[in-house]
Every structure is written in C-alpha cells, then in structure tokens.
Amino acid sequence: MRDLQFALVREGNSDDGLVALIRVLLARTSVPGVIGGRRTYKGTTKEKLEQVLAEDVVPDLIFVHRDSDARNPAVRYTEIQGAADELDCTDKIVAVVPVQETEGWLLTDESAIRTVVGRPGGRAALGLPPIRQIEATANPKEILKEACKIASEKSGARLQKVAHQFPRHRATLLERLDVDGPVNQLVSWRRFVEDLSTAATRALSDISGT
C-alpha cells in the first residue's frame, strides 16, 4: 500500500509549522506512511484549491488553514466547504480553523512560551487568559507577543531584541505544539483532530480500494 499524500494551503508562511502537526497526527492514524508539505499558492480559498487539484499528482488530503478571526468559526467552514463543493473535492478537504487566530492554540502552553524565550524556570506572570476563555479572547497574537516579552524577563535593548524575534518564537511554538497537551481543551483543536482522523480513514479506504 502506498503512502498517504497531503498538501497544506495556509494563510501565510508563519503557519508552515502546521505541517509538522499534521504529520504527527496522521502518523497516529492507521495510514502506512505520510508524504506531504505546504503549498505557497496565492488567491482565494477556491483559487488555491484549484492550483492543488491541477498538480501532476493530486494529494489524497488537502488541509485548508483559515483563522476564524471571530468567536464563531462558521463563516470560515462555510467558505471552505463552498469552495470544495464547487470543485467537487469535498472528500479530500480538511479544514483547519483556529478560533480567533492560530496564536490562540499557542496560548495554551505557558511552559512552552517560557522555554522558547530561554527562561524555562521563569516565574513572571504572563497575563495569559484561562484556557476556557482563549477562544473568546480577541487578538491572541498580541497577547502571545506580550507574553513572550514578559517571559523573557529582559529590559531595554535586550527586550527589544526579544520583540524582534517574535516571528521565530511563534514558529517554534507552532512546530513544537504538544498535541497531547492542554490545547486539547480547545473546541477548535478537537474539531481539527476529529476531522483529520475521519478524513484519514476515508483516504486510507480509497488508497487500499476497500
């Protein structure tokens, strides 16, 4: 049986860390092996999907990442579903829709934030929202940025350096997100994992011809 192939179309290059998470989660399903990566296509969700579907080898699964930018992710799911319906590729699509912003998922692990800025034993209060409130909290990116600065326990020019390093810190936090950790308390994460598992099972059936 051949490996399962996937593609990720995302909002921007700062979301490339999702590839590592997808690999980890797919490896936990019954698929024999996984091959895949990001796509850098531009345009609307439909236009990005059209470009993936035009590839010489069409992936078995296409992960479509869109922040909800709101407390209710329904608009994004409808957008992704609508594009998939138009292109007749619904069975291949897995929506990845963090509520508010992807950074909300990263706010769930205080220890990881301290570690990524080099202060794993730090004690400064980071001002993070309780996990149960994260998906109702606006601007998680700004909250994460401020938390990284506080966690560094730096000041002056050194603090400014930490601020400039935020894109790298964010990327590391996303790549290393503990899929068994507190992020599982977020509804949007659980929905992503459940949808991935369902899609992987369906794709495996197609690959094996059963």
> Taking the complete model, does pTM exceed 0.85, yes or no?
yes
Number of helices (H), then strands (E), belonging to the chain: the values are: 9, 4
**Tens of pLDDT along 135-181?**
999 999 999 999 999 999 999 999 999 999 999 999 999 999 999 99
Return d(Cα 8, Cα 47) in angstroms, integer: 14
Q: Where are the domains of the chain?
A: 4-99+186-208, 103-183
**What is the fold, at CATH topology level, of the domain defined by 4-99+186-208?**
Rossmann fold (3.40.50)
Which tens digit of pLDDT belongs to each residue from 110-142? 999 999 999 999 999 999 999 999 999 999 999
Answer yes or no: are the C-beta atoms of 124 and 202 closer than 8 Å.
Answer: no
Using alpha carbons, list the distances in angstroms from residue 141 to 55, 79, 174.
Answer: 34, 23, 12
Q: What is the pLDDT of residues 48-81, one digit of tens each?
A: 999 999 999 999 999 999 999 999 999 999 999 9
- CA 135 – CA 168 distance, rounded (Å): 23
